[in-house]
Amino acid sequence: MVRLLRPLVRGRTYTRLLHMWVPVAGVSVWLWIEPGLPWVPLLVLVPLGLLPRVREAEVMQARLLLTPDEAEPDFATRPATAWRDRWRTVLWLEFRTLLGGVVAYATVWLPIIAYALAARTVGHETEDLPQVTGPSNWMFGLLAPLPLVALYALVAGGGAVLTAVARRLLGPSVAERLAAVEERTEQLLERTRIARELHDSIGHALTVAVVQAGAARAANSPEFTARALTAIEETGRAALEDLERVLGVLRESERPASARPTLTDADRLLESARASGAAVDAEVTGPLETLPGPVSREGYRILQEALTNVLRHAGAVPARVRVAAGDGLLTLEVHNPLPDGRPAPGRGSGLRGIRERAALLGGRADTGPDGDGDWQVRVELPLG
């Protein structure tokens, strides 16, 4: 019993009733002007519902009045651009108006009928209500609550039905749901890319700075210390530029990806590694300036992460770097020896990032010992 009466103390019961009353106001004005043409308001709703922005207005009302206690109700968030969605809006307006008219009529007359039944019980005259006539009788008293019960059921049930229909007709279509999923996926991919950008750029700069500082302290040479400080400064400036690019992506969603470094800037990475004490033997072949943008940008980050791993895990050791573009393939190779007692890179986040970048472009990445006993990173990226 308590459960049946619970809607009486819920605010949404009355906001839904208000939502059903709203369209009746305009219809009532028209019926007062021209009562012989009650179908005209329903006809006017057809072109009105075809306007794309009307769905936005209806969704706003539905959020405020039908689902006031829901943080994220399942309604569309954009104008109805597809014709199928526009006709769903038309159907919603027609249904809302018809149901609102029934509820408004019952809200007025059912309480009056309940009063008339109670009045006839005690002998009061109700000539203006011919449906409640006859001599006074106690039976009228038993019937008096029934109109109020019917009104309660109509208000509570009508609000629930209207809300269910609103979710159906004002909710996003299948195409809109797919578009929302794709947009969410793009956002997640962008966040992952930004995380990789920060890891590669800042991680490289910090690794170079740590190696340079340690080497300068061990060398105990003013000339070497000056070169180390210069390398740390240049690497730090480059990292700040990369950080500014990443923050620009966060601030401006339309910022072009072309602002990111590409393989044409590979000399900066090689000089940074050499300044850290590593003897880098580089072989660069092929037209790097004509590489597709995504391949060139991701190739730069892969090379950066591979050199960072050399400095982090092996220190200032000789490294062989090969970058070759041609025959529809970009090949990146980094070989370096592992000093005794130092662990291999294993499965750290750096190697995982290299594999993820390669897989994202449909390529492959192989890491591990090569035939000469050195550690190698070999990545192949298709150009087409």
DSSP string for residues in 142-200: HHTHHHHHHHHHHHHHHHHHHHHHHHHHSS--HHHHHHHHHHHHHHHHHHHHHHHHHHH
- With cut-offs at 50, 70 and 90, classify the pLDDT of residue 178: low
- With cut-offs at 50, 70 and 90, classify the pLDDT of residue 129: low
Query: In this model, does residue 126 exceed pLDDT 80?
Result: no
Query: In this model, does residue 316 exceed pLDDT 80?
Result: no
| Cα 301 to Cα 288: distance, rounded to the nearest angstrom | 14
The pLDDT score that the predictor gives to residue 345 is 57
The pLDDT score that the predictor gives to residue 322 is 92
Span 109-121, mean pLDDT? 82
Residue 297 to residues 76, 153, 342, Cα–Cα distance (Å): 37, 65, 31
Q: What is the mean pLDDT of the chain?
A: 80
From 339, 329, 325, 379, select the one nearest 357 (Cα to Cα): 379
- With cut-offs at 50, 70 and 90, classify the pLDDT of residue 255: very low
Query: In this model, does residue 337 exceed pLDDT 70?
Result: yes
| 280-312 confidence digits (pLDDT tens) | 888 988 888 888 888 888 888 888 888 888 877
CB-side neighbour CA atoms (13 Å) of 159: 22
What is the reported pTM?
Answer: 0.52
The pLDDT score that the predictor gives to residue 128 is 57
Q: Which of 27-41, 97-111, 169-183, 236-250 has the lowest mean pLDDT?
A: 236-250
- With cut-offs at 50, 70 and 90, classify the pLDDT of residue 102: very high
The pLDDT score that the predictor gives to residue 127 is 58
